[in-house]
Amino acid sequence: MYKYLFFDLDGTLTDSEEGITKSVSYALINLGYNDLPQETKRKFIGPPLLDSFKKYCGMDDETAKEAIRLYRVRYNDVGKFENKPYDGIPALLKDLKDDGRVLVIASSKPTTFVTDILKKFDLFEYFDIVSGADLAGLKGEKEDVIEEALKELSIDDLKEVVMIGDRHYDILGAKHFNLDSIGVGYGFAPDISELEEAGATHIAETVEDLRKILFK
């Protein structure tokens, strides 16, 4: 049984598609770029924004940083709350906490946004640590936020830790530290095969599947 549960946020605990994709559109339009198809904008959910604006829009570093600034103008005011927990997640977190587990957020989203979202949906109380990116973009890779949480917890046996997320970034971040991982299929991965190919230890296609794995 895993004692230390590291959760991604977007696509794992909450469905954040509306707020993120609308904020991407806001940034692009205000920079004079054409908007992207919704399916492309969904790919912004999970990885660092800098990487996504460069990859999907062909921006250089300076332009991508300005896109992030514009994105955050809308996201901070409106977008972060265009969001909702997946059905079954609040009850699962409560039951895990009541069972004595240590719950951690390990997200590439800035910590301040993660905290605001968790508080908005009454989930903050379940988490012992919130490890997210910094607004300057110096700490945003999945490995960075996992490492920060591991250092804070001073865990003796890494076999007691599992990283739970919906994209290959979560699985590869876990593998970097030789941690087990659970890939969730209800999030934003285009296909379960992304999680399998990344080497997820377990696959949970639904929140109920996730519950069964964590209480096994």
Residues annotated catalytic, as ranges: 8
Residues 6+ apart with CB under 8 A from 151: none
Q: Which of 215, 213, 103, 109 is nearest to 149 (CA)?
A: 103
Q: How far is CA 174 from CA 37, 40, 150, 181, in A?
A: 31, 25, 11, 6
Token pair recorded at residue 134: 């910094």
φ, ψ for residue 47 (rounded to 5)?
-75, 165
Question: Phi then psi for 155, rounded to 5 degrees?
Answer: -80, 135
